[in-house]
Homo-oligomer: A and B are copies of this chain.
Amino acid sequence: MKLNVLDVTLRDGSHSVRHSFTVEQVRAAAKGLNASGVPYFEVSHGDGLGGSSLQYGLSKTDELKLIEAAVSECTTSQVSVLLLPGIGTKEDLQSAASLGVKMARIATHVTEADIGAQHIELARSLGLKTVGFLMMSHMAPVEKIVEQAKLFESYGAEIVYVTDSAGAMLPKDVTERISALRQALQCEIGFHAHNNLSMALANTIAAIKAGATYVDGSMRALGAGAGNTQTEVMAAVLERLGYETGIDLYNLIDTANDVIAPLMQQPQEITGSSLILGYAGVYSSFLLHAQNAAEQFGIDERDILMKVGEMKAVGGQEDLIYEVAQNLASKREVVP
């Protein structure tokens, strides 16, 4: 079976290098990905087009310059961009398309596909391969994901992704979600993993077995939290399992070794913090707040993250972290 591998090193990896990618780095990585036969790769700020800001982190280099450099290296690979409505704009998408981008992935929280309707329609009208990207998919029950995926499909998405942003899923979670989508949708299905529970590749394989035909990875696992499915490892394992990816493994390993490894600012390990983020199933942006609140109230940051995870808090609800911390601290004081 033919699978479509999409490498996100130059987008999700942006988080891990604090948005410091240079034109030279992107050019070298793009050249390697293209030569390796990776069919798609994504170039954007970690939080998508227009993400460069004080809130999400300023990019060292204008992402349009990075996209332009990437496109210029491609003879067979196609460049994708990510866009979160509310962060990126329709103008950003038009600019990217004019640079030769061939795919747009419109990303919303798993329960908010409707805010992506206009962007999906625009991407289609620009002639881009168009993807609906359901973030934090572990937080919604299967029926909700099916409902939201159908919305994306109804807007014109050609592929809908289940995105395990927090690296919180285990294979059975993936299987039930992807299987339900495969039954409910006509369009293709994708899966994007994070490795916080060390299950990124196992989850990706579960997704493929359940019907996903687009799978994301990043070289050296470079990405937010504990990183993504490691593209070069995935390519090797998929080959062992008998799937066709069209990827030249040695070329991809060389690119990971020679281009990506030297630019990493810290190893992409599963630290205590990234483990707890996956275990609690919360946004990585919650971590710093939890650490601050833990210090302020003299409690364990992990208790806060676990509680916030139970409450299914979402991005934007950072205030809740301090409330939870205060509650935990006051409860503790009651017990002598």
Give the oligomeric copy count.
2
| A232 touches B (CB below 8 Å) | yes
- Contacts A198-B229, A240-B279 aside, 11 further interface pairs with beta carbons under 8 A come to A170-B240, A198-B230, A199-B237, A221-B270, A250-B302, A253-B272, A254-B272, A267-B267, A267-B269, A268-B269, A269-B269
Question: Are B257 and A272 in contact, with the CB atoms below 8 A?
Answer: yes
| A233 touches B (CB below 8 Å) | yes
Question: Are A276 and B253 in contact, with the CB atoms below 8 A?
Answer: yes
Within 8 A of B (CB), among A189-204: 195, 197-202
| A54 touches B (CB below 8 Å) | no
| Distance (whole angstroms) from the CB of A172 to the closest CB of chain B | 9
Contact partners of A199 in chain B: CB under 8 A: 201-202, 237
Contact partners of A261 in chain B: CB under 8 A: 271
| A256 touches B (CB below 8 Å) | yes
Contact partners of A26 in chain B: CB under 8 A: none
Residue of A202, A232, A268, A278 contacting most chain B CB atoms (<10 Å)? A202
Given contacts A197-B237, A201-B199, A236-B197, contact A272 B300 (CB under 8 A): no
| A220 touches B (CB below 8 Å) | yes
Question: Are B197 and A279 in contact, with the CB atoms below 8 A?
Answer: no
Residue of A201, A230, A272, A276 contacting most chain B CB atoms (<10 Å)? A272
Shortest 4 CB-CB distances between A and B: which pairs? A267-B267, A202-B202, A253-B272, A198-B201
| A246 touches B (CB below 8 Å) | no
Residue of A200, A233, A256, A276 contacting most chain B CB atoms (<10 Å)? A233
Which residue of the partner chain, among B170, B233, B271, contacts A197 with CB atoms under 8 Å? B233
Given contacts A170-B237, A269-B220, A269-B269, contact A275 B201 (CB under 8 A): no
Contact partners of A302 in chain B: CB under 8 A: 250, 253
| A241 touches B (CB below 8 Å) | yes
Given contacts A232-B275, A253-B275, contact A237 B268 (CB under 8 A): no
Within 8 A of B (CB), among A63-109: none
**Smallest CB-CB separation from A220: which chain B residue?**
B269
| A37 touches B (CB below 8 Å) | no
Interface string of A207-240 (1 = CB under 8 A from B): 0000000000000110000000110111011001
**Smallest CB-CB separation from A280: which chain B residue?**
B236
| A57 touches B (CB below 8 Å) | no
Residue of A197, A198, A232, A269 contacting most chain B CB atoms (<10 Å)? A198
Contact partners of A253 in chain B: CB under 8 A: 272, 275-276, 302
Within 8 A of B (CB), among A242-270: 249-250, 253-254, 256-257, 261, 267-270
Contact partners of A200 in chain B: CB under 8 A: 198
| Distance (whole angstroms) from the CB of A120 to the closest CB of chain B | 33
Question: Are B269 and A233 in contact, with the CB atoms below 8 A?
Answer: no
Given contacts A198-B200, A250-B300, A302-B250, contact A236 B269 (CB under 8 A): no
CA distance A142 to B256 in the complex (A): 35
